[in-house]
Amino acid sequence: MGTLRVPKVVPSADQDCERLKKAFDGVSPTRCVCGRWGTDEKAVIRVLGCRTTSQRRIIKDRYQQLYNESLIARLHSELSGDFGKAVILWTQDPPERDARLAKDALRIKRKGIKHLEVIVEVACASSPHHLMAVRQAYCSLFDCSLEEDIASTVDMPLGKLLASLVSSYRYDKEVVDMSVAKSESATLHEAIKAKQLDCDQVAWILCTRNFFQLRATFDCYKLNYGNPIDVDIKGCGNGDLESLLKMVIWCIDSPEKHFAEVIGNSIIGLGTDEDSLTRAIVSRAEIDTMKIRGEYYNMYNSSLDNAVIGDTSGDYKNFLMTLLGAKI
């Protein structure tokens, strides 16, 4: 369950567009900043931060029709910093947002797998329909497929696994065959025991079975072999493949656990990884941030809301907290 709070009586799209236009034009005298009228950021948050995906899409379309300008382009010109990035990501259609995030991730030349998180999230923590929409958006935006870019930028064996994950189109109904779960948990156990994590059978199971079937397989694995499968995978070593497979399994089996860890890693320690924090909250606010909040407490014995408040400030903090259901 998400934490987005939508008013009981939602203004019309035209009314919301008018409020946004006034916020950008700074019609309130209280918005005078450095000798000019400034943007009313709170008004932007009150409108866009309290609307669903479909409502934001209508607002975006009506804004273009009413004022002959792109709402996204106007947000780019009016807002800045982490606040601006967060609002723009939230306002974009989710498939376009995730396609752009995936492209940005693939442009990064960095050791490790942290920058590849968003690709695993799209492939394994989203519906098959959303993954297909992201792939279509990626082709439209960048004139090539997501699979092609992964193959050309991510080294083997990580690239092979990621390309297979984003190429899959899983059945999205709750269909489980327990005999298959038992058989494939044994196959996974043999591969892990032999430390052959890059074998084709592992990739085939993880990339083709529906999520309900895979969760049953993971349950069978723990029942039959004593440990959760991700624990045994980490026992094979601390390499990038082991880390990537653990991420894949968490995103399939318990997305809220993965995103709680993403938020924790972005906040705990020196500095804040605002990009990861923003991505986690923006992408899940309408899906499962209530569960993420619970998992965060289980992992860190502290409140997610307090952690966000303590590590962010200003309009950026207010916007994230609005998506988490707070009244600002």
Superfamily of domain 256-324: Annexin (1.10.220.10)
What band does 27 get if pLDDT is binned at 50, 70 and 90? low
Is 288 labelled a binding residue? no
Cα 4 to Cα 153, 277, 296, 323, distances in angstroms: 36, 16, 18, 5
Global pTM reads 0.93
The segment(s) of the chain belonging to CATH 1.10.220.10 are 13-79, 95-167, 178-253, 256-324
Q: Is 310 annotated as a binding residue?
A: no
pLDDT at residue 35 is higher than 90? no
Q: Mind listing the pLDDT tens digit for each residue in 106-134?
A: 998 777 899 999 999 999 999 999 999 99
Q: Burial code of 116-155, b = ≥16 C-beta within 10 A, e = fewer?
A: bbbbbbbbbbbeeeebebbbebbeeebeebbbebbeeebe
What pLDDT score does 270 carry? 78
Mean residue pLDDT of the chain comes to: 93
Please tell us whether the domain made up of 95-167 is placed in CATH 2.60.40.10: no
pLDDT per position as a tens digit, 270-322: 788 999 999 999 999 999 999 999 999 999 999 999 999 999 999 999 999 99
35 labelled binding-site residue:
no
Q: What number does CATH give the domain 178-253?
A: 1.10.220.10
Lowest mean pLDDT among 133-142, 251-260, 319-328: 319-328
Question: Across residues 150-160, what is the average pLDDT?
Answer: 93
Identify the CA nearest to 184 among candidates 148, 156, 210, 150.
210
Angle, vertex CA 217, rays to CA 133 and CA 147, nearest 5: 30
- In whole angstroms, give the CA distance from residue 18 to residue 250: 43
Q: Is residue 311 a known part of a binding site?
A: yes
* 37, β-bridge pairs: 32
Q: Is 78 annotated as a binding residue?
A: yes
pLDDT single digits (tens) 48-63? 999 999 999 999 999 9
Is 208 marked as a binding-site residue? no
Q: How far apart are CA 72 and CA 215, in angstroms?
A: 39
For the residues 239-260, what does the mean pLDDT come to? 96
Rounded to an integer, what distance in angstroms lies between the CA atom of residue 130 and that of residue 64? 25
